[in-house]
Amino acid sequence: MSLSLTGRPLDNPNPKVFAISESTFRQNREQSLWVKDRMHSESEEDDESSEEEASEIDAQEVFDLIRSISDPEFPLSSLEDLRVVTLNRVFVNGPNVTVEIRPTQPHCSSAALIGLAVNVRLLRALPPRFRVRFTVMEGSYTSPDALCKQLNDKERVAAACESPALMSTLDTMIARAGTRGNTQQESLV
């Protein structure tokens, strides 16, 4: 019996892995997707322009941040590979970001963990003025309202992030996030 990153038996021992479309990759990215990297690389005189650049975050950039997060049951597959997240289900409207997730099966016990990994990744990478909200693709999960309530509750997310064991699992899932499409970085990981 195979076990997931969390030590539980696999819910879905044979998930469908989809081909990745090259058209979803942003080309010629000169800036890092990490806010901290951008802060260290800019001079103080560019503060005004950096605030303007930060406001230009779009769905593609948010998708680039989360596409390579590893699935907890299948660490060699990304959330994009399994179509848990796709570009057409990421929405940015000013400071509001909405990510619609699609669990691989209706009874996926890792759905909350996956959503939490996406949430933590975006909290770490996006400027604090952004508000991230989660929805679940209609018909893809048995209890979407409960999952959304859990993922959209800041206090629950903060409490979950206080668990060292859970954060270790999340850090493992997030470790390769942001490297997809950059073969040099992928080979280093």
pLDDT tens across the length of the chain (189 residues): 555 556 666 666 666 666 666 555 555 455 555 555 555 454 444 555 555 444 589 999 999 999 999 999 999 999 999 999 999 999 999 999 999 999 999 999 999 999 999 999 999 999 999 999 999 999 999 999 999 999 999 999 999 999 999 999 999 999 977 665 554 444 444
User: Degrees (nearest 5) of the Cα angle 59, 63, 69?
Assistant: 160
d(CA 129, CA 122): 12
Domains and CATH numbers, the chain: 57-188 (3.30.300.130)
Classify residue 13 by its DSSP letter.
S
Its pTM stands at: 0.72
Contact 179, 189 (CB under 8 A): yes
Contact 70, 106 (CB under 8 A): no
* Crossing angle of the two packed helices 144-152 and 111-125, in degrees rounded to 10: 30
Look at the block and give the residue holding tokens 């996926």: 108
> Residue 78: how many CB atoms within 10 A of its CB?
23
